[in-house]
Structure 1
Amino acid sequence: MEEQSPRTLVAERMAGGRGTTGTLARLLRDRRRRAWRFFCSVQLAIILILVLTGLSLIGTLLIQVPPGVTADPGEYAWWRENVVRPTLGIWTTPLAFLGLFDVFHSPWFLGAGSLLVVNILACSINRWKSLRAILSGGRIKLADRFYEGGANRAEFSGLEMTPTEAGAVVVKALERRRYRIRLESTPQGVCIAADKNRYFRLGTYFHHLSLVLFIVGFLIGSFLGFRSQSFAVPEGSVRDVGYGTNLSLKLESFVDEYWPEGPPKDYRSQVVLYENGQEVQQGLLRVNHPMSYKGVRFYQSFFGPAVVMEVRDQSGQLLYNDGVALSWTSGEKPYKRPTGLFSVPGTGVTAYVVAPAQGYYDPLMQAGT
């Protein structure tokens, strides 16, 4: 066997190392290009928009868990079994596993929204090179086949003016129509390029920017903001808004009016807003006419039954005396029972209030019980 010198072995190993490094570099470049094409794909944008639309539709049609309930596993389990399962049955468990009872905070919605933002930014960056060339105007003198194959093409001969004079006439006509004029002299004559409204093409970027800001704002609101559809205040009661706002809302009165034929005429709520226990604002809420204070909006979205509960301990000391909104329903059809809950101060106990089903004789809750 032929003996190789140490210098030869080192050279061969270095050559092999360069080959391996080169292959790895090409592989990484290829993966980067594929990833870039993936994020720049219009098909990806369409799929993500359809996914977000579908999830939004689910969040609108499917009952969503009240925000205050998600923080307590026990309350969430009770809500799922007593409010959702009687209606959805065997679908309750898989839908809960997929997070579809809290769609707008689910990883599917947040992930699709984040990926759509990346897709929009990637498409905008990818298109900038060609758009920049259009804005700058590009080349003036093009190949002969460009002029020969043009859709709007005309040739003139026998003009009683020189090419320079003819060019000046064309330039003046275009300038009167507010075209941008660019000239280039060639051995055959003068080439004229004219365009206008070129900056309108930037409108795509403003559209993309507005869409990105909308999605980012919604995602930030999902993490940092709050929206409570279960915030219900019985008439004459005060409820803390929570979420670190130091706000509380009192419902002074609620009035519902109807036309003689039966359709609703008006729903209005007279409310008082407190901050740190001090009154800061009064307002009259109507449908689609909320009251705002420091970025928090209060909407009138529903009304329903309520009860006044009084709770005392064994010694007779009053622990709770306030209204409880029965804003849910529990039980199986046809016995859909109005349900609400409240916390007994100083005990750590959450009490559930269940009223008899309306419109039916309820065998579990007979009249007078």
Structure 2
Amino acid sequence: MTVVEERPAPAAEPPPRRPNRLWALLRNSWRQLTSMRTALVLLFLLAVAAIPGSVLPQRTINPENVAGYFREHPDLAPVLSRLGGFDVYASPWFASIYLLLFTSLVGCVIPRLLDHVRALRTVPPDAPRRLERLPEHAAAEPRPDDPAAAAAGVAAGLRRHRFRTVVRERPDGTWTVSGEKGLLKETGNLLFHFALLAVLIGVGFGHWYGWNGNRLLVQGNDLGFCNSVTQYDESSLGPRLDAADLPFFCLRLTDFEATYQSNGQPKTFGAQATVQTEHDGPWRPTEFTVNHPLRLSQANVHLLGHGYAPILRFTDRFGQQQTRIVPFLPRDQMLTSEGVAQFPDVNIDPKTNQRDEDLQVAFEGVYLPTVDPKGGPASVFPAEREPALFLTAYRGNLGVDAGLPGSVYALDRGQLANGQLKQVSGERPQRLTPGQTWTLDDGTKLEFVGTRQFATLAVRYDPTQPLVLGGAVLGLLGLMLSLSGHRRRVWFRVSPPAGSEAGTGGSLMEAGGLPRTDYPGFHEEFEQVVAAARRTPEERTP
């Protein structure tokens, strides 16, 4: 009888686990994003993305230039506007590059920082078994002292050369000395990257919470201004600020002093002013120059330039007088200046108190601080040595009542083109010197009273400016450490002579060196270290 034994069927092997493709994709994407190569590419892209902000006018800095660009390029400007060309630094694509660079740097620096901390806490490794295979090697030579004393002397010499050293004893009586140097190279690399992060953080928060404004301030206590958005010629507030967040201060320009060389090049610019920093507080005198701005608690007032503002008094056909102090903008280094004086509220009939818009008056021309004796069209010196004003008169509708924005330094050319504003003077501009009066064809008069100086001011506040400055300084320091540091290791093996016991008969010393980075001067340094280690105790004693 045959008995058939039933054996249980072998258990089925579990199917292999399928890798999570989504997790693998995220892991590989993170590795690519946090690589140094990606950080360099993003840094280059950020620099390229900032180019349109330097080429195209920006709405936050000069909205008038943006409007002019739309008039000059009616087809291209709307496309650039949709792409964020006039708001580059607030555009989504610029912000995305900025955030990706920040994320890449954080993901790259944090693991390297942890590795560097572990490297600092880790002692140099023991000497390899075969030192002759290292790039630098010194053959074994006899020494008169025993291995323990020789190893101690070698370690002391390495410490004098700023090596991190570790002395080890082996069971066979051999002593090894391990030395390591150059960890400041990685410290410099990390310091540079953290400084770059600090600059990125400072620029970002500075854009959010900073503000700036430009103001052309004419000399005179009656022409001061206070820190308000409406009183700036151009202003820009951070996205996290509004007009009510601006600090209070008022400024008046009392005097302006400028000195020039014989060729007209400026030597010194100095503005004298009075400032009020509290409501109903006292006015205190102050001075500031081009390189030394006026520093307030939450703002810095920078002096950018200066010019002249002619004082013009117009007498209309009814005998009413109006006085304008009109800044003329310089167009060259000799302060040849252009400007326009508009009188829209003149020739009002006192009987009806009605104004005829077609009798508005404007004067456009050039101011020369020093007239060219040869009759040239430009000033020959920036100081007022022989000042003269050359004006052309216009009468008609100036177009200022239409409610459209326009420049106060030039006439509306559209009004001239459609004939609503006409020239009423001769073909050649009228020359006026201070104190002279010009009588027009309808009996109205214009008197050139004199001039006042004006200063072009830039008021800035950046709460993260110290952080950006500190980041830039630390970045330079880290870069110098990174370029000057070279990581290298040296080992010494001190053993008793063959056939002798430890502590008797002197010792044999062998050395090896390994540069961890490319360092052309390591050979000379290794020879110096070995020569110092081979000196006897008597030779090392001063």
TM-score scaled by length of structure 2? 0.48
Distance 2:339 2:85 in 1: 24
Check whether the contact 1:251–1:270 (CA below 8 A) recurs between aligned residues.
yes
Corresponding position of 2:295: 292
SS of match in other structure, 1:270: strand
Check whether the contact 1:308–1:324 (CA below 8 A) recurs between aligned residues.
yes
Distance 1:156 1:255 in 2: 79
Match of 2:37 among 43, 47, 63: 43
Corresponding position of 2:540: none
CA deviation profile, 1:50-73 (whole Å, cap 9, x unmatched)? 233344554445433355x7xxxx
Q: 1:113 to 1:197 in 2, by over 3 A?
A: same
Match of 1:120 among 105, 109, 112: 105
Corresponding position of 1:225: 210
Moved more, 300-309 or 178-187: 300-309
Gaps of 5+ in 2: 1-11, 229-242, 314-322, 332-337, 342-400, 426-439, 441-542
Corresponding position of 1:313: none
TM superposition shift of 1:194: 1.3
Corresponding position of 1:268: 270
Alignment of 1:1-369 (within 5 A): 23-24=19-20, 27-28=22-23, 30-67=24-61, 76=63, 79-82=65-68, 84-85=69-70, 91-138=76-123, 140-141=125-126, 143-144=128-129, 147-156=131-140, 162-187=146-171, 189-196=174-181, 198=183, 201-228=186-213, 230-236=214-220, 237-242=223-228, 243=243, 244-275=246-277, 276-279=279-282, 281-303=284-306, 352-356=406-410, 366=423
TM superposition shift of 1:152: 1.1
Moved more, 100-109 or 282-291: 100-109
Check whether the contact 1:52–1:113 (CA below 8 A) recurs between aligned residues.
yes
Check whether the contact 1:135–1:199 (CA below 8 A) recurs between aligned residues.
no
Gaps of 5+ in 1: 1-11, 70-75, 311-320, 330-336, 341-346
TM superposition shift of 1:256: 4.3
TM superposition shift of 1:365: 6.5
Check whether the contact 2:253–2:272 (CA below 8 A) recurs between aligned residues.
yes
Distance 1:308 1:47 in 2: 56
Q: 1:207 to 1:119 in 2, by over 3 A?
A: same
Check whether the contact 1:307–1:324 (CA below 8 A) recurs between aligned residues.
yes
Higher relative contact order at CA 8 Å, sep ≥6: structure 1 or structure 2? 2
Distance 2:70 2:312 in 1: 27
Letter in 1 for 2:137: R
CA deviation profile, 1:97-156 (whole Å, cap 9, x unmatched)? 3334344444444443333332222221121343234313456236546x3431111221
Letter in 1 for 2:211: F
Letter in 1 for 2:22: L
Distance 2:92 2:330 in 1: 27
SS of match in other structure, 2:136: coil
CA deviation profile, 1:163-201 (whole Å, cap 9, x unmatched)? 445433422432443433213333553332112464564
Check whether the contact 1:178–1:196 (CA below 8 A) recurs between aligned residues.
yes
Distance 1:214 1:27 in 2: 34
Q: 1:129 to 1:54 in 2, by over 3 A?
A: same
Distance 1:353 1:128 in 2: 56
Check whether the contact 1:286–1:300 (CA below 8 A) recurs between aligned residues.
yes
Distance 2:82 2:307 in 1: 30
Distance 1:326 1:89 in 2: 30
Check whether the contact 1:180–1:194 (CA below 8 A) recurs between aligned residues.
yes
Distance 2:141 2:112 in 1: 42
Distance 2:50 2:280 in 1: 37
Q: 1:355 to 1:211 in 2, by over 3 A?
A: closer
Distance 2:190 2:200 in 1: 15
Q: 1:206 to 1:226 in 2, by over 3 A?
A: same
Check whether the contact 2:270–2:289 (CA below 8 A) recurs between aligned residues.
yes
Letter in 2 for 1:219: G
Distance 2:282 2:324 in 1: 20
TM superposition shift of 1:247: 2.3
Letter in 1 for 2:67: E
Number of matched residues? 314
TM superposition shift of 1:215: 1.8
Larger fraction in helix: 1
Letter in 1 for 2:100: L
Q: 1:175 to 1:281 in 2, by over 3 A?
A: same
Letter in 1 for 2:58: Q
Larger fraction in strand: 2
Corresponding position of 1:73: none
Distance 1:365 1:44 in 2: 63
SS of match in other structure, 1:153: strand
TM-score scaled by length of structure 1? 0.67
Q: 1:238 to 1:65 in 2, by over 3 A?
A: farther
TM superposition shift of 1:226: 0.8
Check whether the contact 1:235–1:323 (CA below 8 A) recurs between aligned residues.
no
Distance 1:306 1:102 in 2: 33
Letter in 1 for 2:163: Y
Distance 2:22 2:120 in 1: 35
Q: 1:171 to 1:257 in 2, by over 3 A?
A: closer
Corresponding position of 1:9: none
Q: Cα RMSD (Å) of the superposition?
A: 4.3
